[in-house]
Amino acid sequence: MANYALIFGNFSFPRLELRGSAIATALTNVLMFALMLTYVLRYCRFKRFNLMIRF
């Protein structure tokens, strides 16, 4: 959906073509990372690994 909006300029977004594709892909990857990190930190099964202890 973000690619469709930013590449072609739909939904009143500016037409950015290749740059829009890069922005949409980066935003999607950051969102997926944040959601996965939230899931791993909250789910009891993964809490024993202390993943963010030395961050």
- pLDDT band for 2, please (50, 70, 90 cuts): very high
Q: Does 55 have pLDDT greater than 80?
A: no
pLDDT digits (tens, 9 = 90+) for 38-53: 988 888 888 788 877 8
Angular region, 19: left φ>0, alpha ψ -120 to 50, beta rest: alpha
Cβ atoms within 10 Å, residue 20: 20
Give the pLDDT confidence score for residue 22 in this predicted structure: 96
Average pLDDT value over all residues in the chain: 90
Q: Report the C-alpha gap between 15 and 12 in whole angstroms.
A: 9
- Per-domain residue ranges of the chain: 2-47
Q: Are 45 and 31 in contact (CB under 8 A)?
A: no
Using alpha carbons, list the distances in angstroms from residue 18 to 14, 49, 50.
12, 40, 39
For range 28-45, the mean pLDDT: 91
Q: Does 9 have pLDDT greater than 90?
A: yes
